[in-house]
Every structure is written in C-alpha cells, then in structure tokens.
Amino acid sequence: MPEMMYRRILLKVSGESLAGDQPIGISTDVVRFIAEEVREVHRLGVQVGMVVGGGNIFRGVEASAQGMDRTSADYMGMLATVLNGLALQDSLEKIGVDTRVQTAIQMQQVAEPFIRRRAIRHLEKGRVVIFVGGTGNPYFTTDTTAALRAMEIAAQVVCKATKVDGVYSADPMKDPAATKFDELTYLDVLSRRLKVMDSTAVSLCMDNGFPIVVFNLHERGRLRQLVFGERVGTLVRGG
C-alpha cells in the first residue's frame, strides 16, 4: 500500500450537499454515502475532524438580506449546523465509526462543548470529531470555522467537499466554457474572487501555510485518493 500523505485531516462538508437533490432538508442517502467515505479513510488510520454547514436548513446571510437582524440570523444558522452534525454522527455510528460531536454553543444534553485538547484526544483514540455551532460567534462562516478548527487540532490539510471536482474559472453548472484549475495560490483565490472558501478562511490558511484541497466528495473513493496524495480536485497553497 502506498504511504499516506495526510494522517490528520479536517473535512468541511457544506449543508447544501446534505440535501441531495432536495432544495432543503437532509437526505439520508447522501449522509450515509458521506459516512461511508469517511469510514473508508478512518479504517486506514486517518484521524478525521469534520465541520458541517447548515445551509440546507437555514442561511443566516440570506435571512439578514431579507431584513432579519444579522446576529439573530447567524445564531439560527449555527443551530442548523448542530442538526446536520447529529445526522452525520448517527450515520457514522450505525456503520461502526466512533464519533464525538463538539459544539461552540453549549448544549450539554446534545453535544460536548468544544475543548481543543479534548478534541485532539478523541482523534488520537480513533474517534471522528464533528465540530458544530460554527465558531460560536456571528459574522463568521463555517468555512472560517473549518480553517480555525483545522489549525487548532493540528490537521495537515483542509478538505473542502463540494458538488464539483475542483475550482473553476466560472460556475461549471452554468458556463460550459469554465476551466478547471489544478492548483492555485492563496493570492490567486483572493485576487480573482474565486469561490473556494470565504476570504477570511483563505486568509487564515494563507497566514499559517495551511493547504486547502477542493474536491467532489460525492464521487466514491475521492477522499481516499486525497489522503494518499493523489491529484484530486484543486490544491490551494502558497506560491
């Protein structure tokens, strides 16, 4: 077996991807598929931290644009990530993967509070740790949460799961002439305003030299290829 390139990863899963073909809600088929992909690398000994969004249930930015108080809207979005995290936990546990859910917003009957050293200990014991509740603060996206948690748990890479196989010059679903980038620098992403992660998350990764891989998690085996260092999706790193 080839040597693994990444032994501790932070996997960012968008809320929208959990909805599958539905406009809103949670697709149990999609959640099960993601759980199976995570189990495959977990069995190889990869330590997996996960951050999940909440856009399939509620998007704070959109609600704010419609007149809702931004802080209230963002807290509602954070709570939506908890629902998704519990769905992922249930699916992972049902296929034999030990998990812990840690939340930035305390709710003791539902999940542990986020404690960095405890999260690292869970990873070392072979548990998948699912981080929910965002950063616990409004005005920060779950992309930024992913970058932050990756650094806090000393992951080696941020794996940004999307519905397409990398970063394109335009939306490939709308523009057939869109071209895919195999590799980009952080400055490329920021200057071209490419939709990789939000600018705060990209800047945080850039300042700390953290690589980002944007890939399609909905293609079976892609996460396994990624941890072995195979060319998957788009790699974002320093120039």
Sequence letter at residue 51: V
Per-residue pLDDT tens over the stretch 31-49: 999 999 999 999 999 999 9
Provide the pLDDT for residue 239: 65
In terms of Cα–Cα distance, which of 106, 124, 99, 103 is closest to 114?
A: 103
Q: Where are the domains of the chain?
A: 8-237
Max distance between CA atoms of the chain, in angstroms, equals: 55
d(CA 166, CA 162): 8
How many other C-beta atoms lie within 10 A of the C-beta of residue 91? 22
Write down how long the chain is: 239
Give domain 8-237's CATH superfamily.
Acetylglutamate kinase-like (3.40.1160.10)
Beta bridge partners, 46, equal: none
Q: Give the distance, in angstroms, between the CA of residue 197 and the centroid of all CA atoms in the same chain.
A: 10
Does 217 have pLDDT greater than 80?
yes
Per-residue pLDDT tens over the stretch 132-181: 999 999 999 999 999 999 999 999 999 999 888 899 988 888 888 889 99
Beta bridge partners, 51, equal: 12, 131
Assigned token pair, 38: 């995570």
